[in-house]
Amino acid sequence: MRWSVVVVAVLALVAGCGRAATVSEWRELPLPAQGARVVELVPVRDGVLALGSVPSGIDRAPAAWTSADGSHWHALTVEPHSPYGFLAELISAGVGDRTVVLGRAFGGAHGNPRMTVWSGDSAKLVEYPQIFELFGGPHAIAVTAAASLGATDLLIGGWDGVAGRYGAAIWISVDGANWPRRVDDPALSSGPGELTGASAITTGPPGFVVVGETQRDGTQLPLKWISPDGVTWQRTPLPGTAALATQVGCNPTRCTIFGQSTAASPTVLCWPTDTAAALPGPAATTIDTVKVVVEDTRTLAVVRLDGAVHLLSVSPNCTDWQDLALPVPAARAQFAELPTGLLLSTIEDNGSRLWLRA
């Protein structure tokens, strides 16, 4: 890890974590554009890709930028081609042979999310409109995240299958423009007596890595799926019951999975491998793990506990939990690592603030 963790005296134990680091380590940076809301930060070869939106009249418009240091930004040309494309906020990306981006706007009679897909490179993103029923309609559950590996791009989500059981689903593309949906893969879809759900996707040593859960007889069981090519999938139950696997991060040698227990008093859970028991972290009434980043000596995670963002740090074996100080309180945040430090976006309804911790 290229940024240093400075451990100060432990002032208190907060929900099972020692408080570490100080607010003064953070330095505020200029936004890439006035009023920019940066809701995702994705590592790329020369730095980071920032996704989000900018003000556009009374609405917002899709926007994306790249930076090598978090201070100097290059705006990508963003070319929408559908009504919802002009209103979309860019929320997730996969970077392989292409850059593939998932966008989201809200509309229609019920204000449901309207998903858009974009493809391009470090200079330009072009929207490729899809028929409404590909991501929406009466059988839609959700489309949540994107990932890319080489020439293969994936979206994950949920779909109400032909058997009437909703379950994990994927959309796969080899050109960034056409996205056939797959809901019948026996490893991903819901079998008799179960309901599967996919929560997060990344790439790592096994290829594509998806985490989620299955529900059987009212009990939720954590799962991991891997695929070398996005076509052939292998399902692996994670140790434990009454638990969800909600986020995963990988480096070139290993992956770490975060999730939560579903007991009366939920706790954050961390699986160091898919065969090791999960280690518990802080407890909260509501838990939402936003992102996991795996480095050589630590694993970092942005986790919302009872609506407040925490930046958690654990050792590779999911012990030594630390709750790192943030520059400001936040209800939403995203982060990524740069050669110059840890880049953090604290997110509000009308924009973001960017911070760097060297």
Amino acid 108: pLDDT: 78
Beta carbons within 8 Å of 26's beta carbon, 6+ residues apart: 326, 327, 344, 355, 356, 357
Beta carbons within 8 Å of 318's beta carbon, 6+ residues apart: 256, 270, 271, 272, 276, 278, 279, 299
| Phi, psi of 33, rounded to the nearest 5 degrees | -160, 155
Residue located via tokens 């730095």: 47
Tokens coding 13:
């134990």
Q: Cβ(210)–Cβ(168) under 8 Å?
A: yes
| Phi, psi of 24, rounded to the nearest 5 degrees | -65, -15
Residue 9 has pLDDT above 70, yes or no: no
Amino acid 161: pLDDT: 75
* Spatial separation of the C-alpha atoms in residues 70 and 48, rounded to whole Å: 8
pTM: 0.93
DSSP 8-state secondary structure symbol assigned to residue 35: T
What is the pLDDT confidence band of residue 7, given thresholds at 50, 70 and 90?
very low
* Beta-bridge partner residues of 124: 77
Residue located via tokens 């028929």: 131
Residue 164 has pLDDT above 80, yes or no: no
Q: Cβ(191)–Cβ(201) under 8 Å?
A: no
Amino acid 23: pLDDT: 66
| pLDDT, greater one: 15 or 274 | 274
What is the pLDDT confidence band of residue 5, given thresholds at 50, 70 and 90?
very low
Least confident of 15-19, 156-160, 233-237: 15-19
Which run of H or of E encompasses 134? helix 132-135
Q: How many residues appear in the chain?
A: 358
Cα three-residue angle 168-176-191, rounded to 5 degrees: 15
The percentage of residues in the chain with a pLDDT greater than 90, rounded to a whole number, is 85
Tokens coding 350:
């009308």
